[in-house]
């Protein structure tokens, strides 16, 4: 199968979502169509082959991504490669959130919980662990994902901080080897809207919103589906996580503010919106 054949087997909706995601990160339609999408398809095909080779008894240690999800990750990686580590511009916030997704989603649901609950949001380590345990038993009651503890959360947080520091140290203010953050209450105007718009694009494709998500059973495939369901809730903080909080009083006061890196210069502005196109339409 050629790269173009692989792309054409994706649904039109998936192709349009890829274009929209690429345009959010690189607001130049020609670059998205001619560079980012072809590169993303190549990345997705290569990752699919690697993923097939590592399937085995320890496969639950990493995410298993469907073809649309592989394409989604491919768009994130290709956009990052094209944009490089340029200083903050009008789309610095989507690029930051996209990179946080790249640091976490291909790993496992626990990394996603730490990245989006503790680094993008103001959740503490005990709060992250409580949320992760709750979601694990909600989505996979018969065989929840591997248990985690404070050391696991600290190690994941340190790893993610190192990656975002290396990527953005020239774009955002720093303190030592970490970025500096402002705490911004959720539902606080335009900045909150920009964060939610970016989160909508990096939620794993082909996953359902809570509470429609089904519980997993004992099969290997469904355990991996549970991992993706947990990741969905942890990324979709303005919608699914709020539903979880409403249903569970003990975590209802957690994750009430965003942690936003402080840019050296430019303020975030609303990213351009263009109608979706498909690669083979051009």
Q: Where are the domains of the chain?
A: 1-84, 107-266
| pLDDT of 263 | 82
Bridge pairing between strands 174-175 and 178-179: antiparallel
| pLDDT of 85 | 47
Give the count of beta carbons closer than 10 Å to the beta carbon of residue 42: 15
227-281 pLDDT, tens digit each: 889 999 999 998 899 999 888 888 888 999 999 999 886 454 444 444 444 454 4
Three-state secondary structure readout of 231-281: HHHHHCHHHHHHHHHHHCHHHCCCCCEEEEECECCCCCCCCCCCCCCCHHH
Over residues 215-220, mean pLDDT: 46
The model's pTM is: 0.84
Alpha carbon 270 to chain centroid, angstroms: 19
The answer to whether the CB of 132 falls within 8 A of the CB of 110 is yes
| pLDDT of 250 | 82
43-77 pLDDT, tens digit each: 999 998 888 776 655 444 467 889 999 999 999 99
| pLDDT of 252 | 83
Contacts of residue 159, defined as CB under 8 A and 6 or more positions apart, other chains included, come to 103
Rounded distance between C-alpha atoms, residue 69 and residue 17, angstroms: 11
Q: How confident is the model at residue 136 (pLDDT cuts 50, 70, 90)?
A: confident
Rounded distance between C-alpha atoms, residue 23 and residue 41, angstroms: 16
Burial class (CB in 10 A: 0-12, 13-18, 19+), 139: buried
Token couple for 194? 């920009």
């Amino acid at each position: 199968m050629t790269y173009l054949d692989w792309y054409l087997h994706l649904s039109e909706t998936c192709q349009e979502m890829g274009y929209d995601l690429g345009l959010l990160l690189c607001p130049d339609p020609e670059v998205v169509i001619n560079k980012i999408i072809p590169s993303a398809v190549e990345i997705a095909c290569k990752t699919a082959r690697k993923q097939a080779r590592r399937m085995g008894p320890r496969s639950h240690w990493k995410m298993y991504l469907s073809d649309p999800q592989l394409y989604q990750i491919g768009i994130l990686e290709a956009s990052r490669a094209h944009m490089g580590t340029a200083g903050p511009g009008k789309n610095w916030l989507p690029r930051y959130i996209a990179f946080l997704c790249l640091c976490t989603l291909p790993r496992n649901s626990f990394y996603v919980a730490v990245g989006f609950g503790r680094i993008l949001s103001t959740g503490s380590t005990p709060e992250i662990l409580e949320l992760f345990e709750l979601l694990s038993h909600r989505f996979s009651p018969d065989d929840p994902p591997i248990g985690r503890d404070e050391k696991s959360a600290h190690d994941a947080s340190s790893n993610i901080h190192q990656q975002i520091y290396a990527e953005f140290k020239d774009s955002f203010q720093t303190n030592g080897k970490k970025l500096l953050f402002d705490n911004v209450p959720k539902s606080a105007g335009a900045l909150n809207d920009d964060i939610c718009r970016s989160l909508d694009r990096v939620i794993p494709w082909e996953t359902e919103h809570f509470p429609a998500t089904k519980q997993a059973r004992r099969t290997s495939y469904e355990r991996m589906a549970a991992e993706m369901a947990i990741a969905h809730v942890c990324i979709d903080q303005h919608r699914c996580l709020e539903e979880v909080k409403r249903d569970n009083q003990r975590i209802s006061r957690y994750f009430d503010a965003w942690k936003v890196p402080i840019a050296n210069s430019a303020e975030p502005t609303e990213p351009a919106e263009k109608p979706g196109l498909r690669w083979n339409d051009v």
